[in-house]
Amino acid sequence: MRAAMPPSFLFATGIENSYPTIRGGTHRVDEMALCGHYDKWALDFDLVQDLGVPVLRYGPPIHTTWLGDGRYDWAFADITFPDLRRRNIAPITDLCHFGVPDWIGNFQNPDFPALFARYAGDFARRFPWVQLYTPVNEMYICAAFSALYGWWNEELASDTAFVTALKNIVKANVLAMGAILEVRPDAIFIQSESSEYFHAENPAAIQPAEVMNARRFLSLDLNYGRRVNSEMYEYLMDNGMTRDEYHFFMAHKYKHNCIMGNDYYVTNEHRVCADGSTRASGEVFGYHVITRQYHDRYRLPVMHTETNLRQGPNGDEAVNWLWKEWANVLRVRNDGVPVVGFTWYSLTDQIDWDTALREPNGRVFEVGLYDLDRKIRPVGQAYKQLIADWQQVLPTNSVCLQVPVTMPADYATEHDAEQQANAAAKRDDRATADANAATSGT
């Protein structure tokens, strides 16, 4: 039996599964628990199907699944992932979302990358039909919030702590990609990363803004093996990265298996003062301009992997933001950038993201397609209609521009076996590997 055509465009949503620690590591923020997913997972999957989205950003809770090196409790994953497969919903599997298990400690632990790679490989062996992955979510944000701003996990606030967290997080992501590819040669990595921009408020702020605008690229530069500029190289070396560690990132390149997932919120742009302090600027450039900057740098297919806005007093604020973001996606595509997907994040409202999870106040953050009673919000109705209107008429209906996704229902078909075999042959072909490495370093 041959596989059916995959979706021509990856409309998606996600189950919010952040789980950082706060208060000196004494309090775990578990968004799946706070939002009721552990009890209502089957209903949540029903809602995903009702929306008509073929793809779900989703991952097992790392802190209750990964019990030690080679030790796991797969109980929750063993009921949820097979159910996604039964429903033919393709998960973009999110293996690490802002936190690690207590036994790891935090992102300052130099053992984390190798340990995490084994976890990723073991997950892939247990669920070999899964093809799409975000090994570590928003690597830059995770490192900054944990080790530069002092908000989560290690709760440190220094350049040295930030560089340590960043190199460990990105190395974990890179090693995990390699481990997954050993199991699933045609795996596709959709690296959800925050797309940021820093605006100088006055001439004296130009220099600190330039530094921040270079630093925002560090996670993806290292992840894709792209040489950083001289100022960022000195910054990395001055704050604890060694030459050998830097050369690791330049030598391990899986860019040819990647889609650049980028996230954009109204909080992603910042005003920089002369003293280097920042505050929110609101939307100035917008998704279109900033995404072009990232695409011009990495030259990869793009997926808009997160956006949302609170439903306000008028009831249409989130609907209008959805329309604006979708208009930006179409503008980017019309400019020739291969945009292959769009995501409203998340399926339901969230808890305490109004304070970036720093305070366990239990406040509802009304950004979901559904509220926490699983009643559809106006933006949910609008997104459902948007998908119905656009899914058959997008330019990527060309077979030449389709992402080679194998849907769960098509795993182990003749087409899937052929695709994996071809991917494995290309991986093992030294000339192909060298050519990919050479072209992905620019």
Q: Is it the case that residue 292 has pLDDT exceeding 90?
A: yes
Q: Work out the pLDDT band at 403, boundaries 50, 70, 90.
A: confident
Residue 428 lies in a domain: no
DSSP string covering 146-201: HHTS--STT---SHHHHHHHHHHHHHHHHHHHHHHHHH-TT-EEE--EE--EEEES
Tokens found for residue 401: 């521009």
pLDDT digits 0-9 by tens, 188-205: 999 999 999 999 999 999
- Tell me which of 269 and 1 has the higher pLDDT: 269
Residue 273 lies in a domain: yes
Domain count, the chain: 1
DSSP state of 72: E
Q: Work out the pLDDT band at 331, boundaries 50, 70, 90.
A: very high
Where in the sequence is the domain holding 117, given as residue range(s)?
Answer: 10-206+257-411
In this prediction, residues 98-123 reach a mean pLDDT of 98
Exposure string of 89-116, with b = 16+ CB inside 10 Å and e = fewer, is bbbbbbbbbbbbbeebebbbbeebbebb
Task: Give the span between the Cα atoms of 249 and 226, in whole angstroms.
Answer: 8
Q: Is it the case that residue 42 has pLDDT exceeding 50?
A: yes
Say what the pLDDT of residue 388 is: 95
Say what the pLDDT of residue 27 is: 98
Say what the pLDDT of residue 397 is: 47
SS3 226: coil
Say what the pLDDT of residue 335 is: 93
Q: Is it the case that residue 229 has pLDDT exceeding 70?
A: yes
Contact 420, 130 (CB under 8 A): no
Residue 390 lies in a domain: yes
Residue 219 lies in a domain: no
Dihedral pair phi/psi, residue 197, rounded to 5°: -150, 140
Q: Of all helices (H) and strands (E), which one includes residue 271?
A: strand 269-272
pLDDT digits 0-9 by tens, 255-264: 999 999 999 9
SS3 309: coil
CATH code assigned at 387:
3.20.20.80
Percent of all residues in the chain with a pLDDT value above 70, rounded to a whole number: 93
Q: What is the CA radius of gyration of the chain?
A: 21
Residue 95 lies in a domain: yes
Mean pLDDT, the chain, whole residue set: 94
Say what the pLDDT of residue 1 is: 46
Residue 223 lies in a domain: no
Residue 201 lies in a domain: yes
Say what the pLDDT of residue 395 is: 52
pTM for the whole thing? 0.94
